[in-house]
Structure 1
């Protein structure tokens, strides 16, 4: 018999806090990850950076294949059992998932070790063999960490997974920087240096796993004697005569494993398709450029320039993906408890609005500050045109991630996978059509179109699962006005800062333009949203540090009240 659990904080507050925590951790991780690409490109050049990016896309693909959607299945199944008060059942899900993923990681490690020459040949880079093999070591550790993160997310305990992500990326970058310095000092060739740098994947995976396995303070209580459903009448006692609790599983091991695989397979398809975007680019763009007349070295260099924009785009999309992953257990628990559908739909609508706002703000910022950001991070503005063309993908990619999380939380694990698969095929076709004629700018435009297709397909699928309230024209002008205000503020700031820093070295001037420009844009957008009333006390009080009675809550309330006083018509003004 399941015991009734204390519902704790409201579902909306849990969703927003969990989304903010995981989204923030993902953003911090990607910022740290970007740091490893900057010295690599600066010291080794775009050609080595392109080779590194191609091998990295392959490694991430295999790391995703090894996980095979099981972490999300763990999150869903644990959320179901936690909602019913079945803590022992949730732990059983984790044990079997842990074993499955450790086995799949070992298998993937063996395949990459054996087939590294074949993959390097397909990429047109025989020197990548050592890097492929080195990157595969991470497969021995990363699947286990992924399962444990899924378990904590299913329990709505986001702190440890967020910390694990940051530790994983920090360890990875620290190892990479040390090996890069060593390789340059020792004069290693490009193949050896790239292999050494890719050892950071394994170092990061070990760090993330250690963070998840680090013991916590636990409450003491009666022991648990676990008994299978196959022998429901058997009873045993501990040798020391201590008290135990008998747990009879409602399903056999075989049934449990089958359920894990059944839930995981649709998610696995989506998980595999997401890094497939990068893999498609890695295996198609250099070869298409070569077919158009570029030399092999030049095509890899152009691919490295293209990946500057990809690195910046991923800063946005990974944060959105982390926030979306927090939606899955929250909405699953809501569905299991039978919460009011209209309330759930309203929260889903707010999540989508946040996706529009944050994605739109990111796209505008990337487009307006493309050149100074490119110079700041990568020493020149060779990738600025591709960044400008790729900027709208921030909107569509964010919406795709959020809507995909909403679909998974409502039990639709198939649609996000199918929609992403269609978008990936579309991306491959666009590369073949646009890259020979327009180079990496064509690939950037193809990325926007592919993410746009995935977002539209997800939106159509979501309408069939949840009656999300449509945006009202009477209020749609508010975020539009906030985005326009932000664009104007960023453009003016960029022009002013560019003029003030004109006499400085190019990189210093770009830095002093990009950083203040980003800060001005963020502040202007947030202030405009609040001033226009697009975000009110009901929304901001759910955010960390903005609770009722807090200093930030008082400031935001005063700001909104002041704006309303200025915009309200005077009593003597004529109406009509």
Structure 2
């Protein structure tokens, strides 16, 4: 089981990482084309409501459907999953189109909320245009969601990974080409360029959907053979099916919109709080740094958690339904080990190299550096929330996911304005950290109570991970200090060189220590042994 978990997670992680890295690196030319932080804020004004709407429109479909199908596949009732898939296509058509109509129609209202009723760098009409441009993607994305869920329920992660990458490539190609043509060929406005950039979500979705259906028709013979092995004992009506799916899906919706909800809180309160402390003139650019520039960088380590969540739910569900609690415990142990092993050094490294990283991707900015430095460790909290929420789905205690997220959002709402007044832009990050920490604590308490699971057996490994990161941080800081005498982190070329040298040295120290103390073998186990054997054979 652990091997399947690692393999499935690796496939999804690879696809998600490629997608996220593409989504990260496109911001370098895009930022240059559209002209800075104010335009980035405009892009964010459109994308945050879209992300919330798409999560609601898809109703948490990929994970909910994968959990449902995995449950019935485990008892060899394959026809139930196929029935769900066919009827789900109709449901997704209706919810997607309804979400599109609502978002398109209420775009002026969302624009007014985003600007706090005031017109600053951009007008309400400008933001309305951007929101309407991105809303078209809502028609297509739900089809992708249910198809991905169908494949994941069969523990086939390849189609989801490939479609995610193709979707991202198509989106970015259209986004960059469209924005460039509008600005430099047609001499159009930044608002038009950003609108074209957000409409690229629709183009990407079309290509991602095409990939999924190519996979489906290629594998249809195999899927039909499973139907021939169907026991046919489970008689599930469509009403009963969707009643169960709704129970699964509602928590998934909340998990899917967790980060956008936190961003929405910032979108609705940030300008007001900054105005109250006399910084209204800085609000738009600071918001662009908070909700676009730094967020794009911080979300990279979280892609691992997303892949784990997608892989973990059907596997834990299958083990849980069969009553194999020992296997469930093994799966959870492996999940936390790999997650912390990879995300903690990534977040720490990003915080230590905040200045050169921000310079490379955007421009030299004291505020951008400061915000990224405090925001980077939040990636660990994002990852832990995603995975603990997925575990709750797997053990059928998904109702607590809603409770934990709403409690965290309440903490964010309560503290956001006071902390922004105290710490300015960084205050919004502190409020996010406190909100997510609250949610994670609730999730862990519930997992402990209902699955009799504790992180205590992992204490030694967690201690080693923390210790190795401390050593890594000391090495990176010392090397960074020396390089700063001869290289400037405020210029693109030197900043890139500093990042490569420091990140490379830090990674080497971390992995050498992990290998020397046996942590690498303990975390990756047989999978790592298999890779080593293959390397030896190639050398031979």
Q: Give TM-score, length-normalised by structure 2.
A: 0.90
Contact 1:19 1:326 in 2 (8 A): yes
User: Cα deviation per residue 1:227-269 (whole Å; 9 max; x = unaligned)?
Assistant: xxxxxxxxxxxxxxxx999968612222222222232223223
Contact 1:271 1:417 in 2 (8 A): no
Contact 1:541 1:553 in 2 (8 A): no
User: Residues of 2 paired with 1:23 and 1:114: CA distance?
Assistant: 36
Name 1:482's counterpart in structure 2.
468
User: Cα deviation per residue 1:58-105 (whole Å; 9 max; x = unaligned)?
Assistant: 111111110112322211111012112222221111112222122111
Name 2:6's counterpart in structure 1.
16
Which of 103, 111, 116 is residue 120 of structure 1 equivalent to?
Answer: 111
SS at match of 1:549: helix
User: Residues of 2 paired with 1:552 and 1:289: CA distance?
Assistant: 59
Name 1:549's counterpart in structure 2.
533
Aligned residues between the structures: 524
User: Residues of 2 paired with 1:553 and 1:429: CA distance?
Assistant: 59
Q: Which runs of 5+ in 2 are unaligned?
A: 116-122
User: Residues of 2 paired with 1:318 and 1:310: CA distance?
Assistant: 13
Which of 326, 341, 352 is residue 357 of structure 1 equivalent to?
Answer: 341
User: Cα deviation per residue 1:304-330 (whole Å; 9 max; x = unaligned)?
Assistant: 122322111111123312222210011
How big is the shift at 1:511? 0.9
Listed as ranges, the matches of 1:514-525 within 5 Å are 514-525=499-510
- Residue 217, structure 1, aligned to residue 202, structure 2: no
Name 1:167's counterpart in structure 2.
166
Q: Structure 1 residues 336, 40: closer, same or farther in 2, change over 3 A?
A: same
Contact 2:348 2:473 in 1 (8 A): yes
User: Residues of 1 paired with 2:191 and 2:511: CA distance?
Assistant: 46
Name 2:120's counterpart in structure 1.
none
Contact 2:333 2:458 in 1 (8 A): no
Bigger Rg, which one: 1
Name 1:50's counterpart in structure 2.
41
User: Cα deviation per residue 1:140-185 (whole Å; 9 max; x = unaligned)?
Assistant: 1101101111111111100110111111111111111011101211
Which of 470, 481, 484 is residue 495 of structure 1 equivalent to?
Answer: 481
Contact 1:48 1:190 in 2 (8 A): yes
User: Residues of 2 paired with 1:222 and 1:467: CA distance?
Assistant: 36
Q: Structure 1 residues 183, 18: closer, same or farther in 2, change over 3 A?
A: same
Contact 2:77 2:230 in 1 (8 A): no
Name 2:359's counterpart in structure 1.
375
- Residue 203, structure 1, aligned to residue 188, structure 2: no
Q: Structure 1 residues 174, 223: closer, same or farther in 2, change over 3 A?
A: closer
Contact 2:359 2:490 in 1 (8 A): no
**Structure 1 stretch displaced more, 155-164 or 376-385:** 376-385
Q: Structure 1 residues 153, 553: closer, same or farther in 2, change over 3 A?
A: farther
Listed as ranges, the matches of 1:295-334 within 5 Å are 295=280, 298-307=282-291, 308-334=293-319
Q: Which runs of 5+ in 1 are unaligned?
A: 1-10, 227-242, 556-576
Contact 1:546 1:552 in 2 (8 A): no
User: Residues of 1 paired with 2:484 and 2:223: CA distance?
Assistant: 67
How big is the shift at 1:506? 1.1
Name 2:150's counterpart in structure 1.
151
**Structure 1 stretch displaced more, 131-140 or 284-293:** 284-293
Listed as ranges, the matches of 1:95-110 within 5 Å are 95-110=86-101
Contact 1:547 1:553 in 2 (8 A): no
Listed as ranges, the matches of 1:288-437 within 5 Å are 288-295=273-280, 298-307=282-291, 308-339=293-324, 341-382=325-366, 383-437=368-422
**Structure 1 stretch displaced more, 420-429 or 167-176:** 420-429
How big is the shift at 1:436? 2.5
User: Residues of 1 paired with 2:47 and 2:404: CA distance?
Assistant: 24
Name 1:138's counterpart in structure 2.
137
Name 1:239's counterpart in structure 2.
none
User: Residues of 1 paired with 2:198 and 2:180: CA distance?
Assistant: 14
Q: Give TM-score, length-normalised by structure 1.
A: 0.85
Name 1:282's counterpart in structure 2.
267
Contact 2:45 2:131 in 1 (8 A): no
Q: Structure 1 residues 97, 516: closer, same or farther in 2, change over 3 A?
A: farther
Name 1:30's counterpart in structure 2.
20
CA RMSD, Structure 1 to Structure 2 (Å): 2.7
Contact 2:144 2:209 in 1 (8 A): yes
SS at match of 2:188: coil
Q: Structure 1 residues 285, 195: closer, same or farther in 2, change over 3 A?
A: same
